[in-house]
Structure 1
Amino acid sequence: MSAPLVEAEGIVKRYGPTVALADGRLTVRPGESHALVGRNGAGKSTLVTVLTGLQAPDAGTVRFDGESAPALADRDAWRRKVACVYQKPTVVPELTVAENLFINRQPLHRGFISWRRLRREAAELLATWDVHVDPEARTADLKVEDRHMVEIARALSFGARFIVLDEPTAQLDNREIERLFSRMRALQDSGVTFLFISHHLQEVYEVCQTVTVLRDARWITTAPVAELPRAALVEAMAGESVAERAAAVRETVADDATVALEAHGLSSQSYQDIDLTVRHGEVVGLAGSSASGKVELAETLAGLHTPTSGTARLDGRHLPFGDVRAALRAGVGCVPRDRHEQGLVTGMSIGDNATLSVLNRLGRYGFVGTRRTRGVAADLIARLDIHAEGPDQPVSDLSGGNAQKVVMARALASDPRLLVLINPTAGVDVKSKESLLARVDNAREDGTAVLVVSDELDDLRRCDRVLVLFHGRIVAEHPAGWHDHELIASIEGVDHG
């Protein structure tokens, strides 16, 4: 067995009275893809900040190739050891690929940037690591997977051979994920080592050889992936036995249940001729690749876009397009696709975020009652099981799972007749995912019509039926009880030409 490339032992990190990491441990060997998993708040992000030299641990040691980690202030030395590619890109979108690759270290000629040499060296770097991207392309125009590869190439250009991938697949569809994994395997063959962080446990089994589990800020286990069944991995993450459960048997929606949402002939640049209905007490899923149009369709129904043609009615009344506030008044609640960019106002408290959609109910004449806001927010915090100190706590302090619950709380606060959920469990831990999906069940029981857009099969299993979009058209409908291979075949276009 080869000597470790990276070793972290006994890592402790505190922020005031909060212990973010009590016993962080990690041993990564050269050339492997090593998964780091755990629920939100388990200590993964804290360990990564220590491994990448962004913060010093209060106790413990980090070694690279058997040598102590560089001094915290020696950023060049850290760049030669390790780099992190985050879920949110750190490239500058308006710059070209070449400019991003050599930002702050552009080749000079007589004191001026040599653009010819910059483009040449960028092309050589991309070719060396088999990254098929135009060096002169504007980075904002790249696909997410290509932006990831540009960031990896930039890190490799410093000499780093240990790359941390933090939720790299969160914004990718199945085909893009498989391409990213193929590139990871090729880079592994070239001597690159990965630390892979993901909430999608199936990805751990697809691309990683070893997995380390953190729970409650402590190391729990490290094991070969092939020797750790999925149920055992979930048990290690959750701290309790998680039996493989069959899908819950529930009564189907009655055929004579009242239709809540009715859409006819909806078309735009992303989808064509969409007809769909959702009845009260029914949960309908929308599945498809990232280019299928499913997200754009859901966002249209939530008031974010205006279709080029078609109509939609909610409880018989015209549903407004292109006006989120009007859609909210019409009875639509929405959990948007990106809680960071669209779902939360990070400078505000949990209570303020949770009640943004119902401010008109919290006061009169344009004034909002603070006491009433706190009361409504406290009720939502309890209802959604949000782990927080109270309504006044900044939402930026929350883990990913609890932050997503705040977004869900706001969507439910207005007692919507139609609830549109877009990737509702993206980037959250196992327990938070179950809690969020339980809210979907509650909404169904309350008679709410629910539309769920997701790339995760576990989200879609809660649906009474799943509609599959392919190139902007509905091509299949699967009633509850579908098999994974059937749905995946529809999504990938296997069974409809």
Structure 2
Amino acid sequence: MGAEDRPAVAAEGIVKRYGPTVALDGARLTVRAGEAHALVGRNGAGKSTLVSVLTGMERPDSGTVTFGAEPAPGWGDTAAWQRRVACVYQKSMTVPELTVAENLYLNRFRGERTIRWRALRAQARGLLAEYGVDVDPAARIKDLGVEQRQFVEIARALSFGARLIILDEPTARLDAGGIDRLFGKLRALRAQGVAFLFISHHLQEVYELCDTVTVFRDARHVLTAPVTGLAKNELVAAMTGEEPGAARVVRGSARTPGEPVLRTEGLALEGQFAPLDLTVRAGEVVGLAGATASGNTAIGEALAGLRAPGGGRITVRGRPVRTGSVPHAIDAGIGYVPEDRHREGLIPGRSVAENATLTVADQLGPMGTVLPARTREFAGRMIASLDIKTTGPGQPVSGLSGGNQQKVVIARALAREPAVLVAVRPTNGVDVKSKDALLGVVRQVADGGSGALIVSDELDDLRVCDRVLAVFHGRVIAEFGSGWSDRELVAAMEGVGDGPAGAGTGPARGATGAAPVRKRVGTAEATNQSDGTEGTAP
């Protein structure tokens, strides 16, 4: 086999365990030199773990990795790994305060007493020009756009000698023009023999850019096939394990929804989501389904006051809400469960009672005081109603299991008896039993006369919903009533939907660059507007 015929990377029989969890179970992947190879799969499929193995960040329990038919470098030999492979992550790994040139040559001058800055910038300019990157070496990274930062990271990786670049959701924060320019750059580099492993939730982009696609599901390799000739419904079926036409029962409510408790009109945030008209009614659980970078999380954060939208309005039970203000969102009746309970949801050093009552401190004593006895009493009621497993209100929240910590976060959100609960990936990082309990709480909120909005890409989260809206590149492109199938919903979330109504969603790049789509599935209908117009799928 000639050098040009050797694979850029080949992984065989990779097994990786984290305690009782099997993250990779005999996984395999081969990427040829000069190839654009897609790796796709639902959350938890094993993609991120494989990337960690391929980049030397994790040591597999068993299996082999070779680059160009040579064994992978030894564990901990960072320089040797950098000469073979690099990963450009969705979140930039550059240092914002340093210049382009400094980032390109970071950690390459160890042991040298002086650095000739003019020569360094000239060297950086030549390196960037070699790979067609038009960026000023003296510019600070923080002043560059997302697209330019990605090009700098790719150039840095190639400068070490790596001929395999892993791109983790590279288009997540790019507009339509940026995506086209990125794809053009990747095609040019492929002509030089550089191979790319492309990880994306946007399957339409897989068809636009890649030669081959590999599917992982439940930590295992499921499929490797040429993109040409692979039908989109077959690709989605491989990801979900569900054949076309197989419906799953959604655990929605049989009750007729009441009056609107939450409504948005033309709500928009530049670069995140397009003008959105959304209604959640009393007694209803609505899902916003979308991949991590779809814009659905930004919608949830805007509703909670964490982001200030550029336009539109929010009303709760008919009363306007001041946007961009968390206190006003809480006072208006919006309860919020953030995605990351550790970073945004809890104060680890504080007790269960203190965490659960953060939003009702004004109700725990006269004239702004907080009475410990009243705090414990209030928290005790929340512990009982949500069945939080704890030794008592005074137990540090850090001592609870993940599921019970999440219940404390929900308790805080419900403490003021909100009109609507907005929960972002509410079962993230908890076990199956805890998931059922948490989703049961959300269902109870709606059954009690409030409304609930679940923002998630986890299908199990969405089964509790009465309606599910699929969000892709900042737009609602489909709405599903009860009886949706995994395949239909995943296809819509990935931007390749062709559900039973025959309304193809097609690619919808950027938060402002695609025509709105209406799609009927079952008895539901969804509309996402831009500039006052609507699009209706045939």
Alpha carbons of 1:131 and 1:357: their partners in 2 closer, same or farther (altered >3 Å)?
farther
1:89-488 matches, cutoff 5 A: 89-106=92-109, 111-243=113-245, 258=259, 260=261, 278=279, 280=281, 301-304=303-306, 313-333=315-335, 365-367=374-376, 369=379, 372-373=382-383, 376=386, 390-391=403-404, 402-403=427-428, 415=445, 424-425=455-456, 428=457, 432=458, 434-441=459-466, 454-455=472-473, 460-462=478-480, 480-481=519-520
Alpha carbons of 1:453 and 1:22: their partners in 2 closer, same or farther (altered >3 Å)?
closer
SS across alignment from 1:88: coil
Alpha carbons of 1:263 and 1:437: their partners in 2 closer, same or farther (altered >3 Å)?
closer
TM-score when normalising by structure 1: 0.70
Write out per-residue CA displacement over residues 334-366 of structure 1, whole angstroms, 9 at most, x where no aligned residue.
577x869986669799x99x9788777999733
SS across alignment from 2:73: coil
Alpha carbons of 1:357 and 1:16: their partners in 2 closer, same or farther (altered >3 Å)?
same
Tell me, yes or no, if structure 1 residue 34 matches structure 2 residue 37: yes
Mapped partners of 2:441, 2:151: distance in 1: 35
Gapped regions of structure 1 (runs ≥ 5): 249-253, 380-387, 445-450
Instruction: Give the drift of 1:6.
Output: 0.9
SS across alignment from 2:48: helix
Instruction: Give the drift of 1:298.
Output: 7.3
- The answer to whether the 8 Å contact 1:119/1:135 transfers is yes
Identify which range, 27-36 or 130-139, moves more after superposition. 130-139
1:3 to 1, 6, 15: 6
Instruction: Give the drift of 1:173.
Output: 3.6
Mapped partners of 1:31, 1:224: distance in 2: 15
Instruction: Give the drift of 1:472.
Output: 11
- What amino acid is aligned across from residue 428 of structure 2 in structure 1? A
Identify which range, 215-224 or 364-373, moves more after superposition. 364-373
Mapped partners of 2:311, 2:43: distance in 1: 42
Write out per-residue CA displacement over residues 180-213 of structure 1, whole angstroms, 9 at most, x where no aligned residue.
2222222212221111112222222221111122
Report the aligned-residue RMSD: 5.5
SS across alignment from 2:12: strand
Alpha carbons of 1:201 and 1:310: their partners in 2 closer, same or farther (altered >3 Å)?
closer
Alpha carbons of 1:131 and 1:107: their partners in 2 closer, same or farther (altered >3 Å)?
farther
SS across alignment from 2:23: strand
Alpha carbons of 1:216 and 1:313: their partners in 2 closer, same or farther (altered >3 Å)?
closer
Mapped partners of 1:80, 1:42: distance in 2: 28
Identify which range, 194-203 or 99-108, moves more after superposition. 99-108
Identity %: 44
Gapped regions of structure 2 (runs ≥ 5): 251-255, 365-371, 390-400, 409-424, 482-504, 522-526
Mapped partners of 1:340, 1:267: distance in 2: 26
Aligned to 1:52: 55
Alpha carbons of 1:266 and 1:112: their partners in 2 closer, same or farther (altered >3 Å)?
same
SS across alignment from 1:36: strand
Mapped partners of 1:300, 1:56: distance in 2: 40
- The answer to whether the 8 Å contact 1:258/1:280 transfers is yes
- The answer to whether the 8 Å contact 1:268/1:307 transfers is yes
Q: How many residues align?
A: 448
- What amino acid is aligned across from residue 280 of structure 1 in structure 2? R
TM-score when normalising by structure 2: 0.65
Write out per-residue CA displacement over residues 411-441 of structure 1, whole angstroms, 9 at most, x where no aligned residue.
95995867677xx44xx4xxx2x44444553
Mapped partners of 2:163, 2:58: distance in 1: 20
Instruction: Give the drift of 1:176.
Output: 2.9
- What amino acid is aligned across from residue 155 of structure 1 in structure 2? A
